[in-house]
């Protein structure tokens, strides 16, 4: 079975199986793009206490406060802080989750080294809502509809059944005709034998007494 169906004019059209494959490919690309930053992130995770110490010491080079509607208790902050390595200051990436008090939030908002960013969870919500439907539809297609179509394709149609029935009836008629001819031949042979027997009796002398 091929993935493409050929039209009478020679062109090919995509089957539902090919559409499902393309949907899965594009969905995987979107998920990879959304999770690329997290997978490539090699930053250090620091505690809130360490973060506030760096903030008080003025060692935060640049950071972004990421607000998320899914988790209002903790706020994620990503950025870079200055670290002395071999008597040189180097920017080291970091990541932390802190409990933002009104005083700490006001301090971060007023600092020029901090940016504010709101995480877009709408796409994730749409994906999570559509993904179960796609999985169920794919399961039904591959395990039920394909089997039904395969059985329907392999099973003979009404025309084929009628043609086969006509062939069977024709064969039975031919067999019955042969039997009838054979019976006629047997009757003819029996008639000849009877005539021969009757002729012998008549030709035998004294058969009338």
Domain positions in the chain are: 4-37+123-154, 42-119
pLDDT at 169: 80
- Confidence at 152, pLDDT banded by 50, 70, 90: low
3-state helix vs strand vs coil in the chain, percent to 5: 60, 20, 20
- Going by C-alpha positions, the residue among 2, 30, 208, 17 that lies closest to residue 128 is 30
In the chain, % of residues over pLDDT 70: 60
| DSSP code at position 141 | I
| Confidence label for 180 from pLDDT (cuts 50, 70 and 90) | confident
**105-116 residue pLDDT tens:** 999 999 999 999
**Tokens matching residue 132:** 């179960």
Which listed CATH number (3.30.460, 3.30.720, 3.30.70, 3.30.750) goes with 42-119? 3.30.720
SS3 call for 22: helix
Residue 30: what pLDDT? 67
Q: Provide mean pLDDT across the span 90-112.
A: 92
pLDDT tier at 53, thresholds 50, 70, 90: very high
How large is the angle between the packed helices 16-40 and 122-140, nearest 10 degrees? 140
Q: How many CA atoms lie within 13 A of 195 on its CB side?
A: 6
| 115-143: pLDDT as tens digits | 998 876 666 666 667 767 777 777 676 66
């Amino acid at each position: 079975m091929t993935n493409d169906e050929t039209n009478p004019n020679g062109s090919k059209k995509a089957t539902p199986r090919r559409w499902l494959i393309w949907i899965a490919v594009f969905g995987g690309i979107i998920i990879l793009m959304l999770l690329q930053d997290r997978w490539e992130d090699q930053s250090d995770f620091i505690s809130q206490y360490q973060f506030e110490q760096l903030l008080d010491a003025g060692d935060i080079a640049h950071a972004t406060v990421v607000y998320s509607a899914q988790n209002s208790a903790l706020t994620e902050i990503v950025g870079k802080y200055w670290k002395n390595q071999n008597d040189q200051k180097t920017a080291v990436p970091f990541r932390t989750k802190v409990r933002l008090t009104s005083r700490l939030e006001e301090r971060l908002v007023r600092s020029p080294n901090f940016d504010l960013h709101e995480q877009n969870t709408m796409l994730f919500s749409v994906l999570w809502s559509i993904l179960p439907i796609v999985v169920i539809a794919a399961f039904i297609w591959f395990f039920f509809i394909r089997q039904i179509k395969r059985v329907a394709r392999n099973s003979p149609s009404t025309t084929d059944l009628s043609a086969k029935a006509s062939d069977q009836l024709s064969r039975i008629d031919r067999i019955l005709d042969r039997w009838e001819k054979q019976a006629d031949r047997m009757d003819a042979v029996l008639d000849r034998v009877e005539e021969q027997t009757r002729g012998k009796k008549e030709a035998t002398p004294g058969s009338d007494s």
